[in-house]
A and B are shown apart, each in its own frame.
Chain A
Amino acid sequence: MAKTPQQKEQSRQARVTARTAAQNPLVAPPIAAIASLLIPGLGQILSRQTQRGVLIFSAMATGGGIFFWRVAELGRRVQGFFPSIGRALERSPGFVGLAAGALALVWLVAAWDAFLCSRNRKRPGSGVFALVLVSFFVLGWQIAEIDVVKMVRQAPEALPPLSRVIWPWSAAITFETESLSARAEILVGEGTPPTRPVPVEDEPYLLVEPNVGSMTSQDANYQPVPGTRITLSGTNFAANTETEIWWRDPLGNEFRPREDSKYLIFQTDNEGEFQLEMTMPYRMAPPSAQGPFLHTVEARQVSRVGGPQASEALKMTISRMIETIFMGMMATFFGIIFSLPVSFLAARNIMSGSRLTMALYYITRAILNIIRSIEPLIWALIAVVWVGLGPFAGIVALTLHSIAALGKLYSEAIEGIDGGPIEAIQATGANRLQTIMFGVIPQMISPFISFSIYRWDINVRMSTVIGLVGGGGIGFLLVQYIRLLDYRSAGIAVWFIAITVATLDYVSAEIRNRLM
């Protein structure tokens, strides 16, 4: 049915009138601006820009509310409204000033926006919303305790441990060592001087002269009083080898004495002999300690024997890494076994037969969604309560999550099956089993394999962190190393995680590509 030009013109005018009537502002521009100054957004609502008004009002309300909450938090130790604001301003002037400024600016711009809304009868630009974003950014900066200054200032301190994590390989190898040492006793206080040991052929021997003396101590004014100078002479040590001096007090505590605040380390000469002078070190003695004490001084040589070996950290990391990969594999394996039957229950096309099966379908889907929405880390925390610390807890957690995730993916693969080939196979006179084998399985096999490999990839990745909460595997080891401040060993673990995950990522993507 064609319209005459007159009819067209009439209908166009009708549309225009309808639009202007609906958009006609209720108030004049200045009143709209004042309304927005009283309650942000009110002016926009009165100008028939209800959505915009509500948005501006809720943005201002949220921003203002958060601002006053943070200010109250900053000045919480001070009584009274103004004193607490003063305290907040004193504690963090930048934040309070900026945030207050931004919010005030939003307030004013909202009023100007209301003025424009009323005057132009159409929406002005979105500048006011950009300002809202800026004020929320300022608030967020303070709430999230972002501190760039601290980050820069602490960088030099963090550098040594970080560099150990980044390049940890010096801790990956160790050498077997052999130690060669000889001791001599020194008497402190009144008593019989210790007898000097008799030198034995081919064994290192240490002589200390004199073997009676006093330790470094402090006088009444806490000024150091140097101890007796002693001369150590050693024979029969390994030639040209680094040698350390160790001290053992009567309680059996060993420490390395210092001379001019440096540890005593020196090289023996060609005959394996040395001579050294030192001051007897400072050692705090309990006030009750009276009478003679025997201190022991020891010269110790530690030398490498044989070639480099894998360190304990490297061996532990490799064994935990293998454990981790197998954790992921077992969890995937169990996940596949359990999710296969579940996936049929969660496939709409299989379950659409009756009301009962549809109910079962919805229940299965709901359970799968709930299990899937809880992260494996949380499942691991629960599993640790159930089966105790260790890899099995991790496997339980990953299996639960895999069942839910694979169940969903598999069921979607089942839902995506093309009915045509099934019909064609049936038409040849094939029975039910033959139809499944020729019509159904060839269609499902590649998505099934592809999803399963993808899941294995995810599970190994997850099992590297699941140890953080006690689920076994390499994460457990990593957390231990970090808590022991053993950053080199932690670094080795991090490297192995990265290498394994990257390799697996590549391999699984490659396999899936070839299957497609």
Chain B
Amino acid sequence: MLQFTNLSKTYDDGTQALKEVSFSVEPGEFLVVIGLSGSGKSTLLRCTNRLIEPTSGSITWDGLDITGADGAQLRTIRRRIGMIFQHFNLVKRLSVINNVLSGRLGYLDTWKSMLYRFDSEDQTRAFRALERVGLTEQTYKRASELSGGQQQRVGIARALMQQPEIILADEPVASLDPVLAHTILGYLERLNKEDGITVICSLHYLDLVQRYATKVIGLRDGRVVYRGTSEDIRTMTDAEFKDIYGQEAERVGAGLAARTPSSASPTGAPSSGSGSLDSGSTEGAE
């Protein structure tokens, strides 16, 4: 169990991004964090693996103190937590396979990795991860040649290489075409359900929140203003959602919105990526 206790973050310029945030995440949950931009979602996710140092409060993970870990301990913790980003954050000049392999760095000997040498076991793992996100054909392309949706799938494959117990997803679909959103979140949901990976994800669209979340936390001005279970979310109305979320909240689109709450599979999404999702799911399910 991941336990956040009175977590606060104040930036150097005096901005208070998080104020006494406390909540817990059970293993296997799909926790969605919602809130306006600037409400502290990104800060919260980045504090979890300490890409940002919290000012006070603590995060413990099954008794392990994340906030107090030193350099080597922190790296061991980080490699158990995968992360995907709004802007994918791939190294654009490296090939897809090298980007995926870089997810393994936390496990590697420093000097070997300096020469970009990965043992065959890691390479097999990388090919499997790419297969799972349906990008086998793009293996040796440069990351910059891929489309946005493909880049985000490389991001997921990179996170998979860490064999993570938790995946942090910071607005994973915000810079993608809305129809691609279901493809990407579909992968996360499968990792959540099939592999039992805990997902902590920040999202913008109510439909997506209703469709994927098992638990929701609403942030406003760095404070937790809403906590809800999956049942609460399904029955949540737009008005309620807007109340926490503000003016920005939107539905993805009328067509999708009508079917998503009841549809069990994301493959119904009419996206170009959905074909490869099918093949990925059959191969990845073994």
Contacts and interface: CB of A to CB of B under 8 A. Distances in A.
Contacts of B104: 428
A75 to B, nearest CB: 70
A423 B110 CA distance: 18
16 contacts: A421-B90, A421-B91, A423-B85, A424-B89, A428-B83, A428-B102, A428-B104, A429-B79, A429-B105, A430-B106, A431-B71, A431-B75, A438-B102, A438-B105, A438-B113, A443-B93
A434 B105 contact: yes
B162 interface: yes
B94 A442 contact: yes
Given A437-B113, A437-B114, A430 B105 contact: yes
| Interchain residue pairs A-B with the least CB separation, the first 8 | A429-B106, A429-B79, A420-B89, A430-B105, A424-B89, A429-B78, A427-B83, A429-B75
B51 interface: yes
- Counting contact residues on chain A (CB < 8 A from B), the size range is 20 to 34
B91 A423 contact: no
Contacts of A438: 91, 94, 102, 105, 113
A427 B105 contact: no
Contacts of A445: 93
B91 A439 contact: yes
Nearest to A429: B106
B1 interface: no
A423 B89 contact: yes
Q: Which of A421, A424, A427, A431 has the most CB of B within 10 A?
A: A427
B280 interface: no
A414 to B, nearest CB: 15
B128 interface: no
Given A431-B75, A437-B114, A426 B51 contact: yes
B114 A433 contact: yes
Nearest to B79: A429
B94 to A, nearest CB: 5
A509 B83 CA distance: 40
A100 interface: no
A186 to B, nearest CB: 87
Given A438-B105, A443-B91, A445-B93, A427 B78 contact: yes
A427 B51 contact: yes
B272 interface: no
Interface string A451-491: 00000000000000000000000000000000000000000
A425 interface: yes
A430 B162 contact: no
A425 B102 contact: yes
A433 B71 CA distance: 13
Interface string B168-194: 100000000000000000000000000
B91 A429 contact: no
Chain A interface mostly helix, strand, loop or mixed?
Answer: helix
A504 B87 CA distance: 39
A23 interface: no
Contacts of B94: 438, 442
Contact of B110 (A424, A434, A443): A434
A428 B51 CA distance: 11
A421 B89 contact: yes
Contacts of B106: 428-430
B110 A427 contact: no
Contacts of A13: none
Contacts of B76: 429
A420 B84 CA distance: 11
A429 B158 CA distance: 12
Contacts of A418: 92
Given A420-B89, A424-B90, 20 more contacts: A420-B88, A421-B89, A421-B92, A426-B78, A427-B82, A427-B83, A428-B82, A428-B83, A428-B104, A428-B105, A428-B106, A428-B158, A429-B79, A429-B106, A429-B107, A431-B71, A434-B105, A434-B110, A438-B91, A446-B93
Contacts of A426: 51, 78
Given A434-B110, A446-B93, A428 B87 contact: no
A423 B86 CA distance: 12
Contacts of B162: 428-429
B154 to A, nearest CB: 11
Given A428-B103, A429-B78, A420 B51 contact: no
B93 A424 contact: no
Nearest to A435: B105
Contacts of B83: 424, 427-428
A58 B71 CA distance: 69
Contacts of B88: 420
Nearest to B94: A442
A131 to B, nearest CB: 56
A428 B107 CA distance: 9
Contact of A430 (B75, B93, B168): B75
B36 to A, nearest CB: 22
Contacts of B82: 427-428
B87 to A, nearest CB: 5
Contacts of A433: 110, 114
Interface in A402-437: 418, 420-421, 423-431, 433-434, 437
A358 to B, nearest CB: 15
Contact of A428 (B78, B93, B114, B116): B78
Nearest to B71: A431
Contacts of A430: 75, 102, 105-106, 113
Nearest to B155: A424
Nearest to B109: A434
A433 B90 CA distance: 18
B156 interface: no
Contacts of B93: 442-443, 445-446
B64 interface: no
Given A434-B113, A442-B93, A420 B75 contact: no
Nearest to A439: B91
B146 interface: no
Nearest to B164: A428
A445 B82 CA distance: 27
A491 to B, nearest CB: 46
Contacts of B87: 420
B232 to A, nearest CB: 31
Nearest to B78: A429
Contact of A424 (B71, B80, B85, B114): B85
**Which of B49, B104, B105, B161 is most buried by chain A, counting CB atoms within 10 A of its CB?**
B105
